Amino acid sequence: MPSSGPLRIVSVLGSIRPNRVGIHVAKYVNSIIEQRGHSLTFVDPAESQYDLPLLRRRFMDYKNGETVPENLQRLHEIFEAADVFVLIGPEYNTNVSPVLANLLDHFNNEYKRKAAAICSYSAGPAAGRLSGNNLRSMCAMLEMITVPMSLSWGAVGQSTFGADGVPHDAGMVGRTQKFIGEVEFYGQLMKTAREASS
């Protein structure tokens, strides 16, 4: 049986653009995670503490004794401790956003045998599903196990959410709750499997 109890969940937002709507999606998804009693770390690459340069060296490329950049070390420790990742990103030209791909590419072993859940969004009706599919392939190459259910937000804009941060669309409220339930199930499942094999 999967273990129970709080999970260490890391949510990552894949946008740093001005006036980004993704921050509202992330805050709402994060609020549901916290309401359900999990430990949440929100990695927002727009914050200086999580800002990484274009990829030159992955964390694993640094040898013993070499000085690892502070932000890279910080993210390594956060990712290493995570039980499950929630990846929240827009669609850029049918693909994963460059900032999200760049951030994920800096690491490797930190993801192994961990669950990853995909939340995509776009201003159009396709809801970022193409980028979500590409992100699923990327997660597989990083040896993450993706949650089968995705959360896709279409026609997202500044008016999608109320002043309280809750979406006006009751259907999205229900789908988000179901999505987090799947995050919990697969997060616990993979956590149990890792503990059994250690």
Q: Which pLDDT tens digit goes with each residue over 135-173? A: 999 999 999 999 999 999 888 888 888 989 999 989 999
CATH number of the CATH domain containing 168: 3.40.50.360
Measured in whole angstroms, the distance separating CA 180 from the mean position of its chain's CA atoms is 12
Whether 177 is covered by a domain: the verdict is yes
Q: Coil, strand or helix: which one is 195?
A: helix
Distances in Å between the Cα of 96 and the Cα atoms of 27, 36, 37, 72 are: 20, 28, 30, 21
Contact 99, 20 (CB under 8 A): no
For residues 49 and 72, give the distance between their C-alpha atoms in angstroms, rounded to a whole number.
9
- The whole-chain average pLDDT of the chain stands at 93
Domain that holds residue 91: 8-197
Whether 1 is covered by a domain: the verdict is no
**pTM, full prediction:** 0.94
